Amino acid sequence: MVGKHQSEWTAEDKKKEDLDNVAKDILYKTLDKNMFNKIKTCSTAKEIWENLTQLCEGIDQTKENKLTVAIQKFDNFKMKHGKTLSEFDECFSCIIIELILLGKEFSNREFALKVVRALPKEWDVKTVAMREPKDLNKLASWPFR
């Protein structure tokens, strides 16, 4: 359709234009005013999508920075004093999901080791028992796989 006047469009060109308009309409309806202002000059749904992807996910350097921060969160994660096991699990799950969404992969064994290491001193008796190779392999059936 590029370079064609509207009067020269074929039925296929018109169909593509209609689909593009539907896609743009869907995208416009899902955006808040701030995001809409950032993409309102885009002429096609594809262009809108590419701009939104860059705005939301960031360029490769931004993605790399997000991954670095998420890995640091994972490495430094510890169960805080006074927190319940449910709260610990919820925080840990959020970090794991963030890492997975950023493309970082860990084995179930790595997840299990991290959990054991992140527990406080009061859990030492239990973690020693869990560190036995046979028990750690049982723990490695983490639900994020």
pLDDT-based confidence at 132, cuts 50/70/90?
A: low
Q: Is the pLDDT of residue 145 over 50?
A: no
Tokens of 46: 């594809």
Entry field: residues in the chain: 145
Average pLDDT over residues 43-67: 84
Q: What is the pLDDT of residues 79-93, one digit of tens each?
A: 888 888 889 889 999
Question: Vertex 27, ends 51 and 42: CA angle to 5°?
Answer: 40
Q: What is the pLDDT of residues 5-19, one digit of tens each?
A: 888 888 998 999 999
pLDDT-based confidence at 44, cuts 50/70/90?
A: very high
Instruction: Find tokens 């927190």 and name the residue.
Output: 83
Residues 6 or more apart whose CB falls under 8 angstroms from that of 48 comprise 24, 27, 39, 42
For the chain, what are the domain ranges? 6-57, 60-139
Question: Vertex 132, ends 130 and 133: CA angle to 5°?
Answer: 115
Instruction: Find tokens 């004093």 and name the residue.
Output: 81
pLDDT-based confidence at 122, cuts 50/70/90?
A: confident
Yes or no: say if 112 and 139 are a contact pair by the CB < 8 Å rule.
yes
56: left (phi over 0), alpha (psi -120 to 50) or beta: alpha
Tokens of 129: 């028992």
pLDDT-based confidence at 138, cuts 50/70/90?
A: low
